């Protein structure tokens, strides 16, 4: 199943994991050491992040290393900037309306 990236980052623990592995690739054990949750819970979070392509796995010998997919994070930024654009447009329109109101008032 293809997961929704926004659902993935809606969880605070998953966001913390993203912040951790943004700096360097890490094994699940190393990641789990940073959290009070069980190793199982961390694995589950990693699975969600992998399923929506935010995180990629790489095998080095017998160890799995998790690292961040930078491109996917950019997609989220793009979405937010679109949201911002809607507002910018609205507000520029409102500026025009207010300008007209002011001249009528005078």
Partner 1 sequence: MNNLLLFEFSVNKENNTVTVTREFAASRDLVWDAWTKPELLDQWWAPRPYRNKTKKMDFRVGGYWLYAMISPENETHWCKADYQKIEDQVSYSCLDAFCDEEGNINVAFPRSQWNNRFSDNGDNTTVAITVQYNSLEDLEKVIQMGFKEGFTMGLNQLDELLQTVTTK
Question: Would you tell me which residues interact with partner 1 (CB under 8 A)?
Answer: 4, 6-7, 9-10, 12, 15, 79-80, 82-99, 101-102, 105
**By CB neighbour count within 10 A (0-12 exposed, 13-18 middle, 19+ buried), where does 50 fall?**
middle
Q: Which of 60, 63, 62, 26 has its CA nearest to residue 45? A: 26
∠ CA(84), CA(86), CA(87), 5° rounding? 65
| Residue closer to partner 1 (CB basis): 39 or 74 | 74
| Residue closer to partner 1 (CB basis): 59 or 83 | 83
CB of 102 to partner 1, least distance (A): 6
CB of 53 to partner 1, least distance (A): 16
| Residue closer to partner 1 (CB basis): 25 or 51 | 51
CB of 35 to partner 1, least distance (A): 17
Instruction: Give the Cβ contact number of residue 105 at 10 Å.
Output: 6
What tokens appear for 20 in the block? 């951790």
């Amino acid at each position: 199943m293809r997961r929704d990236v926004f659902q993935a980052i809606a969880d605070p623990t998953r966001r913390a994991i993203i912040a951790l592995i943004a700096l360097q690739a890490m094994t699940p054990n190393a990641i789990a050491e940073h959290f009070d949750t069980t190793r199982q819970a961390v694995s589950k979070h990693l699975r969600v992040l992998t399923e929506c392509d935010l995180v990629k796995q790489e095998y080095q010998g017998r160890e799995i290393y998790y690292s961040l997919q930078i491109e996917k994070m950019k997609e989220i930024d793009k979405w937010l900037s679109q949201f911002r654009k809607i507002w910018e447009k609205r507000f520029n329109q409102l500026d025009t309306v207010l300008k007209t109101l002011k001249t009528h008032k005078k």
